[in-house]
Chain A
């Protein structure tokens, strides 16, 4: 949201049919409308413009607010801000990405449950795919093995089996268990492997030529997750 004029603002939204879309919202800075424009709020939008190329103006109506408990949970807040910043920085304007929109919506709905972090990783993988950087995690890039996949090539984004990784495994990214063809547990360590994996591709593929690099919110989210994981490990080992 960018304040503009007397009380209004230029607002950026992730829409179902038109991707990232901006528009002017009258009175956006008012106390009545400010709540509508919080990141993560689902709104019904009516966009009007004389010419389709223009910014146009939007009227918004709230469909649902932030899921319960998001404001109290630093990890959920971090994930929300990370996803919003990624959309803001990586998606081209007015290019439809219905899958991403629905993925985002599902991720927000899942924040009440236990496996929302896995939903976040899946959403980042779909973001990479929508931007033309799809990962192939179905079979080994060197030999086609589907049973013992354990790594991902940082260059090609394709899965690598335990056997094929051999002496190169130090240079490969770890593949989280829940992303393997047979699926696996959504454990915290696996989630962190997933975050590191998508983080690598966001940095080296999507944001490689962006002047600002990976959004700060994404970096902060990964760092926070790492810290919470290490705190949990320390607490479990009684340190």
Chain B
């Protein structure tokens, strides 16, 4: 039906996460229908992102500078390190404005079934960072999934013997969650981790 640059554009868009060929065609048509405004702006943004954005060698965050703004921020507590699976998780924690320490992005979580091993994550860099000293607490902010918790246990094993207080995020009833709609596992975990009032 179409070929050449349009086909290439659709194929590239369809390769993006969460997009299939139908959405890719819709996006391609939308961009091409507003070439002067949306397509040009997107091209400029993509070019700039490719040129400017780098991975922070300290924490693994993406930013226009290395070290990133979070690592450079002198007002943040350098003795607390929050370990997250991906950059989206870092953004999620930052959005809450509840944490003022440093981060470490693992670049994923261990997954036995998907074949993701420790070598594919930045675990060595994390351990090097911890051995360098100056960190008194590590918060394992990893998903409450089988893979997330497997990663947390793996990290805890490797942090044994270091004089560091290791914590993890609480598991339980989400804010605004009605008990009757929660699954058994969540309620049982929340019951176990109940807090005194």
Contacts and interface: CB of A to CB of B under 8 A. Distances in A.
A194 interface: no
| Interface range, A side | 20 to 34
B112 A40 contact: no
A81 B19 contact: no
B112 A38 contact: no
B23 A81 contact: no
A84 interface: yes
Contact of B171 (A71, A74, A220): A71
A216 B17 CA distance: 27
20 contacts: A1-B113, A1-B114, A3-B17, A6-B20, A62-B183, A64-B184, A65-B185, A66-B146, A68-B184, A68-B188, A71-B144, A71-B149, A71-B171, A74-B153, A74-B157, A81-B150, A88-B113, A215-B112, A216-B117, A220-B112
Contacts of B144: 71
A84 B114 CA distance: 11
Interface string A30-47: 000001001110000000
B74 interface: no
Nearest to A35: B183
B149 A39 contact: no
Contacts of B23: 6
A82 B150 CA distance: 12
Contacts of B183: 35, 62, 65
Interface string B136-172: 0000000011100110010011000000000000010
B146 A38 contact: yes
Interface in A42-71: 62, 64-69, 71
B156 to A, nearest CB: 8
B112 A216 contact: yes
Contacts of A82: 112
Contact of B113 (A72, A77, A85, A220): A85
Contacts of A74: 150, 153, 156-157
Given A71-B146, A78-B150, A215-B112, 20 more contacts: A1-B113, A5-B20, A6-B23, A39-B113, A39-B146, A64-B184, A67-B185, A68-B185, A68-B188, A68-B189, A71-B149, A71-B189, A72-B189, A74-B153, A74-B156, A77-B150, A81-B146, A84-B112, A85-B112, A220-B112
Nearest to B168: A72
Nearest to B153: A74
Nearest to A2: B114
Contacts of A72: 149, 189
Nearest to B185: A65
Contact of A6 (B18, B149, B157, B188): B18
Interface of A: 1, 3, 5-7, 29, 35, 38-40, 62, 64-69, 71-72, 74, 77-78, 80-82, 84-85, 88, 215-217, 220, 224, 227
A227 B156 CA distance: 13
B150 A66 contact: no
A66 to B, nearest CB: 5
A77 B150 CA distance: 7
Contacts of B171: 71
A15 B48 CA distance: 50
Contacts of A3: 17
B95 interface: no
B146 to A, nearest CB: 5
B149 A81 contact: no
Interface string B115-127: 1010000000000
A211 B84 CA distance: 33
